[in-house]
């Protein structure tokens, strides 16, 4: 199975309005609620690709109950969330149907106590015993030390389980030092980490900080992967209109599934970019438009960079 970790899980609420205008009342045309947080989105896409996915992290309060109820409806994802006393957060996305733009509001999440963290770590180590790969995803809830992704990475490496790290800021900086197998920042996160806005140079810098491989999400420009053996970049052949929420999470699922299937890096990159673009066409994060995905698989071209890495 593939294990995904979402320390700051959420109930994702997506509102669609004809046009978003400040200082006015809006009539919502559609409401969609889904189990949310980056790792849960990754898990749902993995199961859609035919992989067994187990999701762990924290869930608490009334929102946590709602999260677990929603997850139970998706029987393909195994719930291994750890209960906490604080309330799970909500994230609210407001989609402007006139432009396709999305406005996101993210709550902070529950305060996690030291005892709750110890319970999680025991659960995490048990789950690693059956994992073929693990994804460490997203922001940290209050009360969790900033170096936790470094700790989780070291535990996975001790268990000989490949690790993908998808976070930002200081948790990313600390996590890289623990040498994850793969880090997946977006362009802004990579620039904040390295000080460079040139993706190839920044990805090479991130590798020197500890990651064995860096896969940088570049928005409409696709994705760049830099490994010890080479660097490749791929992008959708055309602009895909829709809601980009969760596109990066689908890319993570593409990279992880390609890893456990033993695909080449260009093949993993193609899958990740196709999934990411197909998610833009889906109604909510953690889903992708299969027709768009299958069409793009045959259209995406991978370019190899002829520079030393």
Q: Strand 2-6 and strand 10-17: pairing?
A: unpaired
CA torsion 137-141-143-144 (nearest 10°) is 0
CB atoms within 10 A of CB 167: 24
d(CA 70, CA 6): 16
SS3 content of the chain, % helix, strand, coil (to 5): 40, 25, 35
Nearest CA-CA partner of 276 in 10, 20, 41, 101 = 41
Nearest CA-CA partner of 279 in 18, 96, 45 = 45
Whether the CB-CB separation of 231 and 200 falls below 8 Å is answered with yes
Whether the CB-CB separation of 116 and 258 falls below 8 Å is answered with no
Query: Which is catalytic among the residues 65, 249, 289, 295?
Result: 249
- Spatial strand order in the sheet of 231-234: 77-84, 53-60, 2-6, 133-137, 163-166, 182-183, 213-217, 223-226, 231-234, 302-305
Whether the CB-CB separation of 60 and 11 falls below 8 Å is answered with no
221 counts as catalytic = no
Contacts of 242 (CB under 8 A, 6+ apart): 100, 280, 281, 282
Q: Which residues are catalytic?
A: 249
């Amino acid at each position: 199975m593939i294990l995904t970790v979402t320390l700051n899980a959420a109930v994702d609420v997506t509102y669609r309005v004809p046009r978003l205008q400040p200082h006015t009342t809006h009539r919502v045309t559609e409401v969609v609620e889904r189990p949310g947080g980056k790792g849960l989105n990754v898990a749902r896409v993995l199961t859609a690709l035919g992989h067994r996915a187990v999701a762990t992290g924290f869930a608490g309060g009334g929102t946590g109950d709602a999260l677990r109820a929603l997850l139970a409806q998706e029987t393909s994802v195994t719930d291994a969330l750890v209960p906490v006393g604080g309330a799970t957060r909500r994230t609210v996305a407001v989609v402007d149907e006139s432009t396709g733009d999305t406005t996101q509001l993210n709550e902070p999440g529950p305060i996690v106590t030291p005892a709750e963290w110890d319970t999680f770590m025991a659960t995490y180590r048990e789950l690693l015993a059956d994992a073929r790969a693990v994804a460490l995803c997203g922001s940290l809830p209050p009360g969790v030390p900033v170096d936790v992704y470094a700790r989780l990475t070291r535990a996975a490496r001790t268990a000989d389980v490949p690790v993908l790290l998808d976070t930002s800021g200081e948790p990313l900086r600390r996590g890289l030092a623990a040498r994850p197998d793969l880090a997946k920042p977006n362009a802004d996160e990579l620039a904040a980490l390295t000080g460079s806005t040139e993706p190839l140079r920044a990805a090479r810098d991130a590798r020197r900080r500890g990651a064995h491989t860096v896969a940088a999400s570049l928005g409409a420009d696709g994705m760049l992967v830099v490994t010890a053996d080479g660097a490749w970049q791929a992008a959708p052949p055309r602009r895909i209109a829709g809601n980009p929420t969760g596109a990066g999470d689908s890319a993570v699922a593409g990279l992880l599934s390609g890893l456990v299937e033993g695909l080449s890096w260009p093949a993993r990159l193609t899958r990740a970019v196709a999934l990411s673009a197909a998610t833009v066409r889906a109604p909510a994060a953690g889903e992708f438009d299969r027709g768009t995905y299958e069409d793009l698989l045959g259209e995406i071209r991978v370019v190899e960079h002829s520079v030393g890495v």
